[in-house]
Chains A and B, each alone.
Chain A
């Protein structure tokens, strides 16, 4: 099997969420083939396809999760090699994502976290019921570009504003791109509290995140 065939097989295994095949392909080739190329020219192709087709409604949530799980398993083997070789994956940006204080809805937030990972972001998920301070401390720790906060209920949406207020109060508002989302969140609300971005669907949010990060890095 030449490299081109290998990359195609890696891509296909990720696309099908076939962790077993993916891991065995990686293991068999890890000593001969550049690990970074396996990720970027092989696995990433399949993952991008999953992400795009999920956004188009062709691929369903369990298939997305299955692909993500296969990806994680392969990365367990690849990561040490990548670190060893000093190669680093191209990273689109760093995101801290979570669901706000007193809100325990995680599914939408998890879908976006997966899609952002697929899109090449380094994603740090702080879970649910997260107070504003937790968003900020994690963002400082990982030097995030984006803070993304989900809120689903009419009573929890105001906590998105708490995060903006905290950033303002600390004089850090310009350090981070702040994005909001969730069932009852609207563009009007996002504008009102001064968020930088809002996506109605997870796939919209990914595009907005890409755009905002490239603007920020360009600036």
Chain B
């Protein structure tokens, strides 16, 4: 499982304050903590500062690079902020650009960055008509997006396809729709990685952590390869381990047993 640590996101209040105060040591500690907890990538978002996003993205990438060796997932809707982050990244890691969509303008703006910086890319299954409501349509958008990226010269294994998770509190079958799209993407494009913003599933409900854990298990069984989540949530990281073992992705249950021996489970 490829874990993308979600903590350094400026839409969270404490992070926004830390960025505003340029509190590098707080943010660097959060980077190290996530790395230690088993994150494979760190998400970096400065979107709460629409007018300074570009400059702050560059600063944030620099200070996180000083703290950890992990590759980053640069999370912005603003291509200029993405490019500022890409330029600031240390040379030997391949970042994820978060994100591209099948919206015409968005696709045109972001593809050149993916190619120029040889980055991986998180691809959201939505187009100019928004988020489609059926598995058939949503998979159709995912398929077109993957094919368009490949045609532009991006290898399948650099694509992290996000089926888009919407809360079950809003519509009961939103979880199942996403899971079915994951299954079909993995069937048709085995090299493409699937990912998701896990906690969206539980918005509007009590005991969100519990819903997140069970949903993770269901999605991993369907072929989820990666998730944007809180690696500091020990029970959730345990659920990652257990889900992989149960889904046949942990040979000889090696990681499962190891986590138990190390007292992590």
Which chain A residues have a beta carbon within 8 Å of chain B's beta carbons?
A: 60-62, 65, 104, 107, 110, 128-129, 153-158, 183-184, 186, 189
Contact = CB atoms under 8 A, between A and B. Distances in A.
B50 A158 contact: yes
Contact of B203 (A61, A155, A183, A189): A61
B49 interface: yes
Interface in B1-17: 10-11
A61 B204 CA distance: 5
A186 to B, nearest CB: 8
Contact of B49 (A61, A62, A154, A155): A154
Nearest to A189: B50
Interface of B: 10-11, 46-50, 53, 76-78, 81, 126, 130-131, 166-167, 169-170, 203-206
Nearest to A62: B169
Contacts of A186: 48
B204 A184 contact: no
Contact of B170 (A65, A129, A154): A65
Which of B53, B131, B170, B205 neighbours the largest number of chain A CB atoms within 10 Å of its CB?
A: B170
A12 to B, nearest CB: 22
Contacts of B130: 104, 128-129
A158 B203 CA distance: 26
A157 B47 CA distance: 10
Contacts of B49: 154
Contacts, number: 54
Nearest to B80: A155
A104 B126 contact: yes
A53 to B, nearest CB: 13
A61 B11 contact: no
Contacts of A128: 130
Contacts of A107: 166-167, 170, 203-204
A61 B77 contact: no
- Contact residues of A: prevailing secondary structure: loop
A184 B126 contact: no
A62 B171 CA distance: 9
30 contacts: A60-B204, A60-B205, A61-B167, A61-B170, A61-B203, A61-B204, A61-B205, A62-B204, A62-B205, A65-B169, A104-B130, A107-B166, A107-B170, A107-B203, A110-B170, A153-B47, A153-B77, A154-B49, A154-B50, A154-B77, A154-B81, A155-B50, A156-B77, A157-B50, A158-B50, A184-B11, A184-B47, A184-B48, A184-B50, A189-B50
Contact of B169 (A61, A129, A154, A157): A61
Contact of B11 (A110, A156, A183): A183
A111 to B, nearest CB: 8
Contacts of A154: 46-50, 53, 76-78, 81
Given A154-B50, A184-B47, A184-B50, 19 more contacts: A61-B169, A61-B205, A62-B204, A62-B205, A65-B169, A104-B126, A104-B130, A107-B204, A110-B170, A154-B46, A154-B53, A155-B50, A156-B77, A157-B50, A158-B50, A183-B11, A184-B10, A184-B11, A184-B48
A72 to B, nearest CB: 16
A61 B171 CA distance: 11
Contacts of B11: 183-184
A158 B128 CA distance: 19
B78 A155 contact: yes
B175 to A, nearest CB: 13
Nearest to B105: A102
Which 9 A-B residue pairings sit nearest by Cβ, starting from the closest? A61-B204, A154-B47, A154-B50, A155-B77, A61-B169, A153-B77, A104-B130, A184-B48, A62-B169
Contacts of A184: 10-11, 47-48, 50
A104 to B, nearest CB: 5
Contact of A60 (B76, B77, B78, B206): B206
A201 B131 CA distance: 24
Contacts of B203: 61, 107
Contacts of A62: 169-170, 204-205
B141 to A, nearest CB: 13
A184 B15 CA distance: 13
Nearest to B167: A107
Nearest to B13: A200
A184 B78 CA distance: 14
Contacts of A183: 11, 48
Contacts of B77: 153-156
